[in-house]
Homo-oligomer: A and B are copies of this chain.
Amino acid sequence: MRLGVLGIVLAAAALPPGAHAAASGETIALEGISGVVPPCATCHGTHGEGGGEGLYPRLAGMPAAYLRRQLTMFRDGTRASPLMSPMAKGLTDADVAAVAGYYSGQAAPFPPLPSADAAQLERGQTLVTVGAWERGVPPCRDCHGPSLQGVAPAMPTLAGQWSQYLTAQLEGYRAATRSGDPLGLMGRVARGLSESDVRDVALYISSLRPGVVPQPPRPATAEAYTPRPQTADGFVPPPDSAIPDTPFGDLVRLGQNIFQDTPRYAPGFAGNALSCRNCHLDRGRAAASAPMWAAYVHYPEYRKKDNLVNTLQFRIQGCFRFSQNGKPPVADDTALTALVSYFYWLAAGLPVGIKPKVASYPPLADPSLPTSRERGAKVYAANCVLCHGEDGQGSAAGGQQVFPPLWGPQSFNWGAGMHQLDKSAPFIKHNMPLGAGGVLTDQEAWDVAAYMNSQPRPQDPRFEKDVETTRKLFHAGHEHDFYGKEVDGRILGAPDAE
């Protein structure tokens, strides 16, 4: 006789936790622990294929750390589930690790492809690859990885999940009945989705398979688009679907690709794991992160940094040199022309020579307390570790950087604007955590910027003689800047401290 699921659950709930011998993950999954938990496979399948027409999620291949985290949250109630919580309460830490490891290592058949029309799938594909930033929705892939393969420890595999399960979870996030999402990020994101968005994105994601990297949809024929004069207030750049099917359009697309994944599309010039999009969200469109359409209209411009009138090309070369710690392309390299073409295309309709306020990160008042690395470390642990890791190195998945490294050899160098607290704090305040810009207090933003920017990072490429000389030459007047300052007994930026 097989018990119904509810029967199993109720039976399990009656048992005392932890009072059992260690068992392998396979055993727990396939046989359960006698008198403690029923076999996971009853609902999730022998290989973690899930079931119940998507009532029970697919677990096969999920990051083990993610599965551990969920079971732990079921156990302690952080993630409420009348089904899972009672069972999880019977598991020891060792059980949790064992069964998580088992399902993480499984390959399993995928649910049947959902029935969906092309327009639904295309809308879902857009949400996955492009997002809907104007509603606070970053693309799914920005956190779940380029093929939605999941990013340990907090981001589950989504590709190939049952669409019914995805829909139920997103609806649960919207209704705040699903909890346990770190920093409440998924709740925020889901509340930016409409009911039809939820359906479409779930259908599309279910049709994906790990290893397939979805690209933003491209219409068979470019959407007709006639730029109209606009001002910077509420400026809306043209939609990607309007990038023309012409050699110019091809270059714009290349520019966007370089912008989105610099190490891959500009490998000769990128010197670290960062991409342009890391500091300029929504493909360089987001008003809160110095959008590229705003940049386009105020160059050439004199900059004190190099005591020179910067063309847009020169300015971008500076990004390659400092923020991307690389070797800038020459001024007429195709990579630069592609980026300039992309920015030009984004700026369609915006008046030349009228510098938009949003050309810089939004303003942030000076900190009311002197910045504190110690307080910053706590802010970091609470809000940033999730994506950027305790070591600040972010995460990669499928050979692509998902979350950028914030310090160390793969991050921006001491010449990049972002190492100055008065640039990084406003960026953090208004844009971080990704999808939840604005949740930190001003002081928290300043403090965590101090924490991030008092870590080692690559040398300023303008380095001359020693760190004192270099500081005098290039960092004078930078009040909020750790270059050349002593932190924990080491001089930041000194050659031996890198």
Which of A228, A308, A344: most chain B CB closer than 10 A? A344
> Is the beta-carbon distance between B248 and A301 smaller than 8 angstroms?
yes
> Is the beta-carbon distance between B246 and A302 smaller than 8 angstroms?
yes
- Main secondary structure on A side of the interface with B: loop
> Is the beta-carbon distance between A311 and B332 smaller than 8 angstroms?
yes
Distance A10 CA – B429 CA, assembled complex (angstroms): 94
> Is the beta-carbon distance between B340 and A347 smaller than 8 angstroms?
no
- The stretch that binds B, out of A214-222, A351-359, A377-385, A477-485, is A351-359
Residues from chain B with a CB closer than 8 A to the CB of A348 are: 351-354
Assess whether A337 is interfacial by the CB under 8 Å rule: yes
Partner of A341, one of B228, B231, B309, B345: B309
> Is the beta-carbon distance between B332 and A313 smaller than 8 angstroms?
yes
Distance A309 CA – B352 CA, assembled complex (angstroms): 20
Residues from chain B with a CB closer than 8 A to the CB of A228 are: 354
A-B contact pairs, 14 of them (CB 8 A): A227-B351, A247-B307, A248-B302, A248-B309, A296-B352, A297-B352, A299-B344, A309-B341, A311-B332, A311-B341, A314-B332, A331-B332, A349-B352, A350-B351
Assess whether A251 is interfacial by the CB under 8 Å rule: yes
Task: Please give 16 more A-B residue pairs, beta carbons under 8 A apart, in addition to A229-B231, A299-B344, A347-B353.
Answer: A227-B353, A228-B354, A229-B229, A246-B302, A247-B307, A247-B309, A251-B309, A300-B337, A300-B340, A311-B337, A311-B341, A314-B332, A331-B332, A348-B351, A349-B351, A352-B352
* Interface bracket on A: 35 or more
Residues from chain B with a CB closer than 8 A to the CB of A175 are: none
Distance A440 CA – B228 CA, assembled complex (angstroms): 37
Distance A337 CA – B306 CA, assembled complex (angstroms): 15
For residue A340, give the distance in angstroms from its CB to the closest CB of chain B: 6
Type the 1/0 row for A87-111, where 1 means its CB is closer than 8 Å to any CB of B.
0000000000000000000000000
Distance A297 CA – B349 CA, assembled complex (angstroms): 10
Assess whether A330 is interfacial by the CB under 8 Å rule: yes
Which of A228, A247, A345: most chain B CB closer than 10 A? A247
Residues from chain B with a CB closer than 8 A to the CB of A231 are: 229
Closest chain B residue to A232 by CB distance? B229
Which of A296, A309, A345, A348: most chain B CB closer than 10 A? A309
For residue A33, give the distance in angstroms from its CB to the closest CB of chain B: 65
| Identical subunits present | 2
Partner of A350, one of B248, B331, B352: B352
Distance A248 CA – B308 CA, assembled complex (angstroms): 8
Q: Quick one: which of A205-255 are within 8 Å of B by CB?
A: 227-231, 246-248, 251
Q: Are A354 and B227 also in contact (CB < 8 A) when A251-B309, A337-B311 are?
A: yes
Type the 1/0 row for A435-459, where 1 means its CB is closer than 8 Å to any CB of B.
0000000000000000000000000
For residue A244, give the distance in angstroms from its CB to the closest CB of chain B: 9
Distance A300 CA – B340 CA, assembled complex (angstroms): 8
Type the 1/0 row for A322-344, where 1 means its CB is closer than 8 Å to any CB of B.
00000000111000010011001
Distance A444 CA – B314 CA, assembled complex (angstroms): 47
> Is the beta-carbon distance between B300 and A248 smaller than 8 angstroms?
yes
Closest chain B residue to A300 by CB distance? B341
Distance A228 CA – B354 CA, assembled complex (angstroms): 8
For residue A9, give the distance in angstroms from its CB to the closest CB of chain B: 61
Distance A348 CA – B300 CA, assembled complex (angstroms): 12
> Is the beta-carbon distance between B340 and A349 smaller than 8 angstroms?
no
Distance A351 CA – B228 CA, assembled complex (angstroms): 8
Distance A308 CA – B247 CA, assembled complex (angstroms): 8
Residues from chain B with a CB closer than 8 A to the CB of A351 are: 227, 229-230, 348-352
Residues from chain B with a CB closer than 8 A to the CB of A314 are: 332, 337
Closest chain B residue to A248 by CB distance? B302
> Is the beta-carbon distance between A345 and B349 smaller than 8 angstroms?
no
> Is the beta-carbon distance between B352 and A347 smaller than 8 angstroms?
yes
Residues from chain B with a CB closer than 8 A to the CB of A297 are: 352
For residue A395, give the distance in angstroms from its CB to the closest CB of chain B: 35
